[in-house]
């Protein structure tokens, strides 16, 4: 046999394989999302997301301790308020659920890096990500003023970074201006820049009780068929001052992550969303897939070009890597 190229030589054993491995996951890449609810002594599994829980503020402290022990240093907070109204006033109240959780977690664990999700859908009675006009459309510019208030209230409570997920036009520039005017020019913004209107958010909407009461989010979230448009979204967000840009969801959008990486010199986050998590979790629990699939899937997100991965699997990753 006259075979010149024998690629199997570098696959011969684990040592050589790890030496030539191009993509390595590190626990430093991960952000772990947490859902906080009002009340006390609550740690309740979310039925559509096995292994993910609703925590009351008192109970989330134990969870954060465990995360730190596992080497997970940053969390993304979502709040489920006690009451909702048309204008989502609990979202920007200093006594709101995320604000309370941020203060308590920071008090107990100053070293944890807290990122907060900036959106209105968990807080509005109609479940849309902004303020509605008389016609029932989301009023973009009016919504910005609320997003600014929400971001400021989170930062005042001690958030290290804010992450707007609403998909309104101009929000990054507006939030940047509000934070800067209040002396928070050192707080970074991670923008959900290319956020697609996706069926993969289903379990999250149950977890956050945030499904729109009528209609859908297609008038503000992106059409899954579009890639050029994602480049424009990313470009506008960078121009407006985003520090980190995000692609969401991750798995059906690996081509978008790669394209952002090829075109922009920015830190890129990818959100491995609830539906992607539950789909795999259910397959593992039913013995259809082996749990190694978790690392394979997450590696694909990093290989596509993500620097940061937001994932409900972060604790599993920490255990695999140990």
| Catalytic positions, written as ranges | 195, 248
In the shown chain, the binding pattern of residues 234 to 273 toward ligand PBG, with x for contact by CB under 6 A and - for none, equals ---------------------------------------x
Q: Is 35 in the site for ligand PBG (CB under 6 A)?
A: no
Angle of helix 97-108 versus helix 140-157 axis, rounded to 10: 30
In the shown chain, the binding pattern of residues 144 to 183 toward ligand PBG, with x for contact by CB under 6 A and - for none, equals ---------------------x------------------
CA 282/CA 80 separation, integer angstroms = 25
Task: Count each helix (H run) and each strand (E run) in the chain, helices first.
Answer: 11, 10
CA 301/CA 177 separation, integer angstroms = 32
Nearer Cβ to ligand PBG, position 125 or 263? 125
Nearer Cβ to ligand PBG, position 74 or 274? 274
The site for ligand PBG, by CB under 6 A, has a size of: 11
CA 72/CA 312 separation, integer angstroms = 12
Site for ligand PBG in 199-228 (CB under 6 A): 201, 204-205, 210
Nearer Cβ to ligand PBG, position 70 or 121? 121
Nearer Cβ to ligand PBG, position 197 or 227? 197
Q: Which of 121, 266, 269, 297 binds ligand PBG (CB under 6 A)?
A: 121
CA 64/CA 237 separation, integer angstroms = 31
Q: Is 123 in the site for ligand PBG (CB under 6 A)?
A: no
How many Cα atoms sit within 13 Å of 163 on the Cβ side?
28
Residues 6+ apart with CB under 8 A from 266: 234, 238, 242, 244, 245, 260
Name the residue number minimizing CB distance to ligand PBG: 204
Q: DSSP 3-state assignment of 53? A: strand
Q: Which residues bind ligand PBG (CB under 6 A)?
A: 117, 119, 121, 129, 165, 201, 204-205, 210, 273-274
């Amino acid at each position: 046999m006259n075979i010149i190229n024998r690629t199997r030589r570098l696959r011969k054993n684990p040592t050589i394989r790890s030496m030539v491995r191009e993509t390595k996951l590190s626990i430093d890449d991960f952000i772990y999302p947490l859902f906080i609810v009002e009340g006390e002594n609550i740690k309740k599994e979310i039925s559509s997301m096995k292994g993910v829980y609703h925590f009351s503020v008192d109970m989330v402290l134990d969870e954060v301790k465990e995360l730190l022990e596992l080497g997970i240093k940053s969390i993304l907070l979502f709040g489920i308020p006690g009451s909702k109204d048309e204008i989502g006033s609990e979202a920007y109240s200093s006594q709101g659920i995320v604000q309370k959780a941020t203060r308590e977690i920071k008090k107990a664990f100053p070293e944890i890096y807290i990122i907060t999700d900036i959106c209105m859908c968990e807080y509005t009675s109609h479940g849309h990500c902004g303020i509605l006009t008389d016609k029932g459309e989301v009023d973009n510019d009016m919504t910005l003023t609320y997003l600014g208030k929400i971001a400021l209230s989170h930062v005042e409570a001690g958030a290290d970074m804010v992450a707007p997920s609403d998909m309104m036009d101009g929000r990054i520039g507006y939030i940047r201006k509000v934070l800067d005017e209040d002396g928070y020019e050192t707080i970074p913004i991670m923008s959900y820049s290319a956020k697609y209107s996706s069926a993969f958010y289903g379990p999250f909407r149950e977890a956050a009780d945030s499904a729109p009461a009528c209609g859908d989010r297609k008038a503000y979230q992106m059409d899954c068929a579009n890639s050029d448009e994602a480049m424009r979204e990313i470009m506008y967000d960078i121009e407006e001052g985003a520090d980190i840009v995000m692609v969401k969801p991750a798995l059906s959008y690996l081509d978008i992550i790669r394209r952002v990486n090829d075109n922009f010199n920015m830190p890129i986050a990818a959100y491995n969303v609830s539906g992607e998590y539950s789909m795999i979790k259910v397959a593992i629990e039913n013995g259809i897939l082996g749990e190694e699939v978790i690392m394979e899937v997450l590696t694909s997100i990093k290989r596509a070009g993500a620097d940061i991965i937001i994932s409900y699997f972060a604790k599993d990753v920490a255990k695999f890597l140990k």
